[in-house]
Amino acid sequence: MKRGCKARGGGRVATILLIDDSQTHRAEIRSVIDASGLFERVLEASDGLRGLKLLLAEAVDVVLCDLEMPGLDGDKLLLARSSRPGAANVPFVFLTASQDMGRRARLLEDGACDAITKPFHPIDLVARLRLHLKVKRLQDELLVKNATLARLSTVDELTGLRSRRYVSEVLSIEFQRARRYGTPLSLVMADLDHFKAVNDCYGHPGGDVVLKGVAELLRGSLRATDVAGRYGGEEFLLVLPQIERDGALIMAERWRASIEHGDFAAADGRPIHVEISVGVAQYASSMANTDALILAADQALYLAKQNGRNRVELYEARASESETAPGGAAPSRIR
């Protein structure tokens, strides 16, 4: 049985699941819960099995359960809740006439939050339910904050691309995979041309518009397996696993061209035109670590800047340097 589901203040409603095989007892408890105003939504189940089904199907804040029930009693229900992700965080409060302290202790050890002796006093029941609901709300807020912190640690807030740390970790994994299995791996490093002039002319809000727009164009060019991140202020790093250099060059050129032929709008409506220089490098067995691959992409990017900007350059090691680091390699011009 459900009450109205409209939450106070527009948030998610507070929901309690009441499980008792006695209709009389449920009605008595329900009257106390309704009078307390703690819960906007009350779910009722006449036995443990029905209660478990509701717990698996619904978002519940507190479970108030009779301990002694035919079939699936409170002890078994408590253990069975683990089959629902997240249900372990739902506080279980038991009502029982049992004076077996050992059993009560086992309930708490198995994850119950409270055991209230029958016959209960309404004031005591409401106070405990209020406490457990508050704790559940605090736990939910903590989970949301932790998830937000985890997301912020892996995502650049401005562009929505991955953070430098995250991309670096992915690159390390893909580098080891390429080394072990001989699979292709390409790395793309890009830097917006004359970005300081954009900030000087349109202000930092204008620069932010450009960074967001460039990132959006980039997302449209990536495969599901590619990982792109903001590597610095106006620098981007793309990890392209399972792709040869020719495929990486095509992708990089497509992205560069989309930026060259697109304009971004400043806050006052003025169009902002920007260009980007891009360096591409492919993993080689002579590279000792990820730093060597990053250095290769960075050298290709440097050559793009040196050769006039707004272009894509490919790093290529000479045959004589196959056993050395890419310090003296000769990138080749694609555009």
Q: Which residues are catalytic?
A: 234
Alpha carbon separation from 35 to 29, 38, 122, 155 (Å, rounded): 10, 8, 10, 46
CA 21 to chain centre: 41
Distance (Å, whole) CA 189 – CA 301: 7
Beta-sheet strand order (sheet of 185-192):
227-230, 235-241, 185-192, 276-282, 312-314, 332-333
Instruction: Compute the half-sphere exposure of residue 37: CA atoms within 13 Å on the CB side of its CA.
Output: 1
Give me the count of residues in the chain: 335
CA-angle at 83, arms to 78 and 88, nearest 5°: 55
The backbone torsions φ and ψ at residue 280, rounded to the nearest 5 degrees and listed phi first, read: -125, 135
Give, in order, the Cα–Cα distances in Å from 92 to each of 18, 77, 79, 122: 10, 10, 11, 18
Phi, psi of 310 (to 5 degrees): 50, 55
